[in-house]
Structure 1
Amino acid sequence: MGRFKFNHIKPIMVETAKRWMRAEPFRQSATISYYAIFSIPGLLIIVIWAAGIFFGQEAVQGEISNQIGTMMGEETAESVEDLISNAYISSTGWVMKAIGIIALVFGATTLFFQLQKSLNFLWDVEPDPENNLKKMIIDRASSFGLILVIAFLLLISLVLSSILSILSNWIAGRFGEEIYYLTEIVDFLLSFGIITLLFAIMYKFLPDVEIGWKSVWVGAMVTAFLFTLGKTLLGLYFGMADPTSGFGAAGTIILVMVWVNYTCLILFFGAEFTHVFAKNYGHQIQPSEHAKWTAAYLHRKEEGEHEDPIESRTRE
């Protein structure tokens, strides 16, 4: 469709919102939130193990607790630490250790496995039944690879945060607070870049589609912006109110589910935006080798239904 113009923003956002609402995002997010409760302990343990090889497990676990505390409060961070401690494999027998590791990996990858199904649903693709077993193995391996990517990005974040912290203290003592604020802006931009990279990797490799990097980067940046904005607002809300006070001991679980639910809503909106952006700028999206278009999509295509919010706008 040519180069991007500012008058394209409104029709793209309107079409994105329409597709997002049709895809039942609240039901999809609730499903992911349910699986997240069982996957988070294993996911965090694997991330801590992987990143801890280079930075130390205590440092990685401390950084994760700090991030959770910033987003959901110190009480939730302590509860998540207890979950991690209880899920650690302490058995000395190698057979039980092997079973425990397999259980951790299976539990951790289930979250991304379900997230892949939701993204496939949003992008009108489904696995090819002829490749079920091979597809399942590939999906689990891809999910585990994504966990290692998260660990790597966390490691980078830890290193950069440590360097910037040292520089900030040195700069504040030598040059005053004006330059210190500059380092804070740099820290924010680096964090934003890491979040964008994570969303880009998820959109590129998790769904069963082949999509170009150009559309992926645009969608990832929009998603990262919405996620950062929402994270700030949600953090302020959690800080001023106590939405889980009526749930007693289950309050932490409810809070985690609320947070995952919100994150998935943003993720799905970003996925729909990526799809609409790619379609309206002529960037090809095709099912991957082990997938195919859904019957509903093929029916809409046969009926001649198409969504092109920019075309009608550019004719004006």
Structure 2
Amino acid sequence: MNSSKTLDAPGTGTKERHPVQRLKNIYKFAVTIYFKFNEHNGFLLAAGIAFFTFLSLFPILILVGIALGYFLESPALREQIIAYVFKSLPSLTDTIRTTIEQAVQDTINKLIAHRPSAGVIALIGLIWSATGLFGGLGVALNAVYEVKETRNIIIQRLIALGVFLLIMLLLLISFGATSVASVFRDQVLNLFFPRQVVTFAWTFLSYAIGFISTLLLFLTVYRFVPNVKLKFKDVWLGTLVAGFASEVVKYGFAVYIHMFASKSYGVVYGSLATIVLLMFWLNISAMLLLIGAEINVAYRKQKMGGVKIFEPRKSSQSHI
């Protein structure tokens, strides 16, 4: 195959050792991502993901709280973990965040207190609603990889549940790392280092933990959700780009809301401003996730010489 007709991804090939050629390759790679994103109706897919995420957000939080209720004896610790999740939503003002958080906490406490009477049906309903998000993600990512869904609905939901449990584990690890780092800061660093040094180190560590958690989240979704045989080496580039961009957007969006949007959106949308801002942020995050997937596709195709190399996972050949 003529190598001049294949796409050169950043970091590969012999010609791109020259800085100018490297910039040209990066530009061509970015243009390819842009056109493929539009070809796959990325804006429409992102809107769908944002909608499913919004509908699944509170069932997921309630499920997390119920699951934690089985393993944690301390209600205070469970509430701290739920609060930790809410802090990652930059579009919520402090007042709205407190109100919604309290409503979720009350629901969790009631379900835990009436665990036997709540029954299996309510739990199954919550799981079905929560895993609906990953079904929507699967449809969108399959469109990016240009493969059809060959897994039946039960298998899809089981995979979604597995991904949900992995993400919940990542949440616990992130919260645990933050808590341990906080204790280390208070008990050790403050005793031996100036306050300015401790503040800088803590800020850096907080960002690092958040960034690593975001990378692991994207890696999990890219690796397991689409109906494609993939290895971790096939998704690392999109994970890195989407994860970094997501963190930048999250903090930038928080600054934007604090300085501008909280007032202007309130005038236009009134009491619905928080919901509009949350949907806007979810939509941007979904676009970044899809762009990361497009990067993974383009990068792997380049490595394989431009040929189509994506195959659906093995299944029982039951099509939906």
Q: TM-score band (shorter)?
A: 0.7 to 0.9
Match of 1:106 among 128, 137, 140: 128
Give the deviation of 1:204 after TM superposition: 0.6
- Cα deviation, 1:170-210, whole Å, max 9, x if unaligned, reads 31442112354234323322321121111011001000001
Structure 1 equivalent of residue 284 of structure 2: 262
**Residue type matched to 1:154 in 2?**
L
- Cα deviation, 1:236-294, whole Å, max 9, x if unaligned, reads 111112254132333333222112111101101111011111111229532212499xx
Give the deviation of 1:87 after TM superposition: 4.9
Contact kept in structure 2, 1:196 and 1:221, CA below 8 Å? yes
Distance 2:242 2:157 in 1: 25
Structure 1 equivalent of residue 159 of structure 2: 142
Q: How does 1:1-316 map to 2 (within 5 A)?
A: 4=12, 6-7=22-23, 8-51=25-68, 53-54=71-72, 56-68=77-89, 70-85=90-105, 87-88=107-108, 90=111, 92=114, 94=116, 96-128=118-150, 135-169=152-186, 170-176=188-194, 177-178=196-197, 180-240=199-259, 241-242=261-262, 244-245=265-266, 246-282=268-304, 284-290=309-315
Contact kept in structure 1, 2:141 and 2:290, CA below 8 Å? yes
Distance 2:276 2:316 in 1: 35
- Cα deviation, 1:128-148, whole Å, max 9, x if unaligned, reads 3xx5xxx21111011111111
Contact kept in structure 2, 1:51 and 1:151, CA below 8 Å? no
Distance 1:254 1:205 in 2: 30
Contact kept in structure 1, 2:218 and 2:239, CA below 8 Å? yes
Give the deviation of 1:93 after TM superposition: 8.2
Change (3 A) 1:244 1:180: closer
Contact kept in structure 1, 2:49 and 2:283, CA below 8 Å? yes
Distance 1:116 1:282 in 2: 24
Q: Secondary structure of the equivalent of 2:148?
A: strand
Change (3 A) 1:35 1:79: farther
Contact kept in structure 1, 2:91 and 2:277, CA below 8 Å? no
Give the deviation of 1:96 after TM superposition: 4.7
- Cα deviation, 1:14-62, whole Å, max 9, x if unaligned, reads 2111111222222112222222332111111122333452583222122
Distance 1:96 1:171 in 2: 46
In terms of mean alpha carbon deviation, does 51-60 or 197-206 score higher? 51-60
Structure 1 equivalent of residue 19 of structure 2: none
Change (3 A) 1:83 1:261: farther
Contact kept in structure 2, 1:41 and 1:87, CA below 8 Å? no
**Residue type matched to 2:79 in 1?**
E
**Residue type matched to 2:38 in 1?**
M
Change (3 A) 1:27 1:180: same
TM-score by length of 2: 0.80
Distance 1:58 1:273 in 2: 38
Contact kept in structure 2, 1:50 and 1:151, CA below 8 Å? no
Structure 1 alignment gaps of length 5 or more: 293-316
Q: CA RMSD in A?
A: 2.6
Distance 2:118 2:202 in 1: 48
User: Kindly, what percent of the aligned residue pairs are identical?
Assistant: 24
In terms of mean alpha carbon deviation, does 242-251 or 206-215 score higher? 242-251
**Residue type matched to 2:217 in 1?**
L
In terms of mean alpha carbon deviation, does 34-43 or 48-57 score higher? 48-57
Structure 2 alignment gaps of length 5 or more: 1-7, 17-21
Contact kept in structure 2, 1:46 and 1:147, CA below 8 Å? no
Q: How many residues align?
A: 286
